[in-house]
Amino acid sequence: MIPWLADDSLDFPPLEQALVEPDGLLAAGGDLSKARLLNAYRSGIFPWYNPGEPILWWSPDPRCVIFPDELYLSRSMRKRLRKQDYTVTFDQAFDRVVAACAAPRRKQDGTWISDDIFKAYFNLHQHGIAHSVEVWIDQQLVGGLYGLSIGRVFFGESMFSTQRDCSKIAFAWLTTQLQAWGYGLIDCQVYNDHLASLGATEIPRSLFKTELHHLRDQTLTHAWEFSIGRDDILRERHE
């Protein structure tokens, strides 16, 4: 039995109380207010639930992460990045990126990105906490991702692609920019093959908690403006 969050408190149970099955389920209830979401992410917790269900809060073990300096780009991906047929922007179409991430996908019946999720994260975007990366071809939005920035940690939420490799392009440019800015960790939440192909790995929740507590309060004095060149992202990386 998982605890139900009190309306008058932002506190979460200790991560160690999360269920083993389903992996990482920690609590239910509460709301998606800015204060609660910030406390959740700073504690290593994120919301994930289907529309019409109570809000469910998770902290899986192990945790899927990528360290920015361990971004892996295959030979074919580096070749794709060298093409001059796309443009990458930051924070230019946050609402459209989230809407595209919520769109129906093959082999999926629905989406967890409800109207409430959209409103909550758009509010975080308006407060300079949630950010998006966009990939454009012929002035059409063809790929992107969004997530939260807290201290020296970026918490990835979702990505999409309507053309081959465009979500990987967004992730590669973001990761290289985060490395240049001095970020120490990207939280990918749950392992999948798509993220693993870019260098994501799983670490114990205890280690994730330690890294998070070390990095979350370290202020980075920068604006979210794209400031690296194509050559930076295409430099040789390990195979």
**What is the pLDDT at residue 236?**
44
Q: Which residue has the tokens 């309306």?
A: 7
Indicate the range of 35-49, 193-207, 220-234 predicted with least confidence: 220-234
Task: Tell me the residue length of the chain.
Answer: 239
pLDDT band per the 50, 70, 90 thresholds, residue 64: very high
Residue type, 208: F
Query: What does the DSSP 8-state code read for residue 62?
Result: S
**What is the pLDDT at residue 206?**
98
Q: 40 near 12, Cβ under 8 Å?
A: yes
Per the rule left: phi > 0, alpha: psi between -120 and 50, beta: everything else, 212 is alpha
**What is the pLDDT at residue 28?**
98
Edge-to-edge, what's the strand order for the sheet holding 4-5? 4-5, 25-29, 56-58, 46-47
Q: Where are the domains of the chain?
A: 4-60, 64-233
**For the CA atoms of the chain, what is the radius of gyration?**
17
CA distance 231 to 239: 18
Share of the chain above pLDDT 90, in %: 83
CATH of domain 4-60: 3.30.70.3550
Q: 199 near 71, Cβ under 8 Å?
A: yes
Give the CATH number of domain 64-233; options: 3.40.50.10540, 3.40.50.720, 3.40.630.70, 3.20.20.60.
3.40.630.70
